Amino acid sequence: VRLAGVEEHVRIDGRALNAYRRLGLRFGETHGEVEVSLGPTRALAICSGEIITPPPERPNEGRINFHVEFGPIASPGFEPGRPSAHATAVANFIERLLRGSRAIDTEALCIIGGQQVW
């Protein structure tokens, strides 16, 4: 089916190969909350920050952590509560991707070297 779609220049969902899905952003009422939609796929992202004391081995670098949850609204197979192994794997992948790409300057998250970082 997939190969036939490529040969016919259409995707499985009927879109042309060069057609994109509609992107939407909706900012929530809570600070740091946004809903992202890409076609029929939706994701909720919540961002928060905390000032901490950096570890001695990286005194001038802030930290970024990710937490991923797949809720039952996405699929009946997902249960609320503790993140599944799949959700943890996705969070770890995102973290490795961003750290490895150096897309985020962790030194820019430093407030006072050795004392306070985001």
CB contact burial 26-40 (16+ within 10 A = b; e otherwise): eeeeeeeeeeeeeee
Two structure tokens written together for 34: 């946004």
In this prediction the pTM is 0.60
d(CA 18, CA 15): 8
pLDDT above 60 (res 42): yes
pLDDT above 70 (res 75): yes
pLDDT in tens, 77-111: 788 878 888 889 998 998 899 888 988 899 999 99
